[in-house]
Amino acid sequence: MSSKSKIQEYDLKYIWHPFTQMKEYQKESPIVIEDSDGIYLIDSDGNKYIDGVSSLWVNIHGHKSEKINSAIKNQIDKIAHSTLLGVTNPSASILAKKLIDISPPGLKKVFYSGDGASAVEVAIKMAFQYWMIKGRSEKKKFVCLEDGYHGDTLGAVSVGGIDIFHSTFDPLLFESIKISSYDSTDKVLKDLKKVFIEKGSEIAGFIMEPYVQAAGGMKVATDGYLNTVRSLCDEYEVLLILDEVATGFGRTGKMFACEHDNITPDIMVLGKGLTGGYLPLSATITTQNIFDTFLGEYDELKTFFHGHSYSGNPLSCAAAIANLEIFESENTLEKLQKNILFFENELKEFKGLKSVSSIRNKGLMAGIDLVKNPENNQKYEIKDRIGKKVCDAALKEGVLLRPLGDTIVLMPPISINESEIKKLTKVTYKAIKDVTENNV
Ligand SMILES: Cc1ncc(COP(=O)(O)O)c(C=O)c1O
């Protein structure tokens, strides 16, 4: 594309894009996505791309779903928004019931926010205030994992562990206790126990992404370890906060990743796929016990003083209800199992590529690590921009991806079918080969 369209001009002139080095971005002509069809995105020139990362991990059943579209349209003909402060609305109520019905047993109350990071803030503040009300004000620290990611607001960053994103903001953060990352699940459990033994009486909560540390590089934990995490938290009276923002809604093959081990967290955080990827909405779901702790006379000041203007927004909630109805009416989770096996089989092919040092997946969440020299595991330098180059090459062949450094991420909508998986993996394979072996 030589001359820029008005949309591109306005974009380059007025928009500051998230997680983007704008100097680099401004040299390019941005692709303008203006239409969609199932798992495909369509740009302003009519080119179609597989949405290989579900529009940043949000899309579940594909784009332009008739059911979700019509739920939003029906809702907007009634009311777009009313507050959840002191009054309610049908969509927020019905969705809350549906969420509790599908949540792990014991989770009973839904607190709505707008995005994943806000729902994480809610979880942190809820856990903190819970112990305050209980008269255990010494319990105010949070334990989290290296390479963990929970969003970009300051509370979420305080319990995050990705230095490249977070270290700049260190002086602004509250102190948290970081333990080792998923690279060795055994070590996580050992470190967790050690920290709980030494400091358990000061710890309010432990927050982690169950099974997949997504933004931290698609790191996958060993089967069964959440059971031990749950028992350690019980033993040392630490609230377990599971951040299912990326893993929720079928991505790992179960509705929620914690179902792989049949455990119930004290607080579960949902976002991204909650509305099927259509509108912003998140939820912090907790137990009757935590909820009841906040009950009291108004002047006791036990109220959870936290809220957002668009909490429980009816349009978002209507989309989320339709999203959950599709899971039921189309047996999404059942159908998904076959496609996960197919996907895993396709991923094995990548072992044949010289630059691929590791391939990991849980369900339809996958990460493929690229290294410069596989013999001594020599990494590419940041300036090599290898992940970006691979994604640029895939784009030319009709697949839109977004890397995490030198890790190529594949996380398509879970409605993807076998032939689409084939295209996604074939194009990615060729892009890696061309960029890392053929210097194309
Ligand atoms: C596990 C996890 N938690 C929280 C967030 C933050 O969500 P949001 O970008 O909606 O604020 C993300 C986003 O990638 C995430 O992966």
The finding on whether 230 has its CB within 6 A of some atom of ligand 1 is: no
The finding on whether 271 has its CB within 6 A of some atom of ligand 1 is: yes
Q: How do the domains of the chain map onto residue ranges? A: 31-61+331-436, 67-329
Residue of minimum CA distance from atom 16 in ligand 1: 246
The reported pLDDT for the residue numbered 1 is: 46
Tokens of 120: 């994480």
Give pLDDT tens digits for 354-389.
999 999 999 999 999 999 998 898 999 999 999 999
pLDDT by residue for the chain (440 residues), tens only, comes to 458 999 999 999 999 999 999 999 999 999 999 999 999 999 999 999 999 999 999 999 999 999 999 999 999 999 999 999 999 999 999 999 999 999 999 999 999 999 999 999 999 999 999 999 999 999 999 999 999 999 999 999 999 999 888 889 999 999 999 998 777 788 889 999 999 999 999 999 999 999 999 999 999 999 989 999 999 999 999 999 999 999 999 999 999 999 999 999 999 999 999 999 999 999 999 999 999 999 999 999 999 999 999 999 999 999 999 999 999 999 999 999 999 999 999 999 999 999 999 999 999 999 999 999 988 989 999 999 999 999 999 999 999 999 999 999 999 999 999 999 999 999 999 999 999 998 87
- 280 CA to centre of ligand 1 in angstroms: 12
In whole angstroms, what is the distance from residue 390 CA to residue 384 CA? 11
The reported pLDDT for the residue numbered 354 is: 95
Of all atoms in ligand 1, which is nearest to the CA of residue 271? 10
In whole angstroms, what is the distance from residue 188 CA to residue 193 CA? 9
244 phi, psi to nearest 5 deg = -100, 25
Give pLDDT tens digits for 167-203.
899 999 999 999 987 777 888 899 999 999 999 999 9
- Global pTM reads 0.97
In whole angstroms, what is the distance from residue 165 CA to residue 151 CA? 10
CB atoms within 10 A of CB 382: 10
Class of domain 31-61+331-436: alpha beta
Of all atoms in ligand 1, which is nearest to the CA of residue 282? 10
Tokens 């680099």 -> residue: 24
Tokens of 140: 């105010």
Of 433, 370, 378, the C-alpha closest to 404 is 370
Class of domain 67-329: alpha beta
The finding on whether 40 has its CB within 6 A of some atom of ligand 1 is: no
154 SS3 class: helix
Of 273, 257, 281, the C-alpha closest to 58 is 273
The finding on whether 214 has its CB within 6 A of some atom of ligand 1 is: yes
Question: Which residues make Cβ contacts (< 8 Å) with residue 328, sequence separation at least 6?
Answer: none
